[in-house]
Chain A
Amino acid sequence: MSTNTANPLAGEFELAMDGPLTAYWLAILRVLTGWWFFHAGMTKLLEDGLAYSYGPMYMQGMEGTALGPIPVWMGNNLAWLIAPGVPLFETLIGLAIMAGVLTRLAAFGGAFFMVLFWVGNAGFGHGLVNSDLMGLLLFVTIMVLAAGRYYGLDAVIEKLQFVQQRPKLRYLLG
Chain B
Amino acid sequence: MTQIKSTVDRAAMAVSGGLILLGVVVLGLIETLAGQPYGAAPLTNDAGEVIAMPLIDPNLRTGLVILGLVVLLLWGLYKLATPMAGGDTETTPVESTAD
**Which A positions have Cβ atoms within 8 angstroms of B?**
1-9, 11-12, 14, 16, 64-67, 108, 111, 115, 118-119, 122-129, 133, 140, 164-168, 171
Contacts and interface: CB of A to CB of B under 8 A. Distances in A.
Q: Interface majority SS on B: helix, strand, loop or mixed? A: loop
Contact of A12 (B3, B38, B80, B98): B3
Given A5-B91, A164-B90, A171 B58 contact: no
B69 A128 contact: no
Interface string B25-65: 00010010000011111000000000000000011111101
Contact of A167 (B63, B66, B90, B92): B90
A140 B20 CA distance: 13
B78 to A, nearest CB: 11
Given A12-B4, A168-B84, A171-B79, A64 B59 contact: yes
A156 to B, nearest CB: 16
B7 interface: no
Given A2-B95, A12-B2, A128-B23, A165 B62 contact: no
A72 B39 CA distance: 26
A66 B69 contact: no
Given A9-B84, A127-B39, A115 B66 contact: yes
Query: Which of A1, A108, A128 has most B Cβ within 10 Å?
Result: A128
A3 B96 contact: yes
Given A8-B84, A64-B59, A124-B40, A3 B94 contact: yes
